[in-house]
């Protein structure tokens, strides 16, 4: 991996993490504010949701290394978490290798 791709990937990943966490927090807010369910039901739903979202987050973000960067970028792009303007700044090779629409 080129040094320039690695530096750009770090930016992409940082912004994607912020976007993911903001999305999860918005989901939490909706659950908490849903007065149509009892508090205990909301609590249990929120607890399970956060466990699931945390597992999903770990798959996409844990282990910051160059060897995992391409797999993480595929996952981030598939989930729509990337800033595509930054992705366009990556080398053509890295962009092509991490394009989720071209893998299957």
Identify the band that residue 1 occupies on the pLDDT scale cut at 50, 70 and 90.
confident
pLDDT of residue 104: 59
104 within domain boundaries: no
Structural domains counted in the chain: 1
Helices (H), the chain: 3-33, 39-61, 66-78, 84-87, 92-97
32 within domain boundaries: yes
103 within domain boundaries: no
pLDDT of residue 91: 96
Write out the residue range of the structural domain in which residue 16 sits: 3-98
42 within domain boundaries: yes
pTM, to two decimals: 0.88
Identify the band that residue 102 occupies on the pLDDT scale cut at 50, 70 and 90.
confident
User: Taking the C-alpha atoms of 7, 67, 23 and 49 in order, what is their torsion angle to the nearest 10 degrees?
Assistant: -160
52 within domain boundaries: yes
- Tokens 């918005």 identify what position? 26
11 within domain boundaries: yes
**Token pair for 43:** 């609590």
**Token pair for 103:** 């893998």
Instruction: For 31-58, write each residue's pLDDT tens digit.
Output: 999 999 999 999 999 999 999 999 999 9
Instruction: For 9-38, write each residue's pLDDT tens digit.
Output: 999 999 999 999 999 999 999 999 999 999
């Amino acid at each position: 991996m080129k040094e320039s791709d690695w530096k750009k990937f770090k930016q992409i990943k940082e912004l994607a993490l912020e976007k993911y966490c903001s999305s999860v927090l918005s989901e939490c807010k909706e659950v908490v504010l849903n007065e149509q369910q009892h508090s205990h039901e909301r609590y249990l739903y929120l607890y399970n949701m956060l466990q699931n979202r945390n597992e999903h987050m770990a798959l996409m973000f844990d282990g910051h290394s160059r060897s995992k960067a391409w797999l993480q970028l595929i996952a981030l792009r598939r989930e729509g978490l990337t800033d595509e303007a930054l992705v366009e700044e990556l080398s053509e090779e890295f962009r092509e290798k991490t394009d989720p629409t071209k893998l299957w």
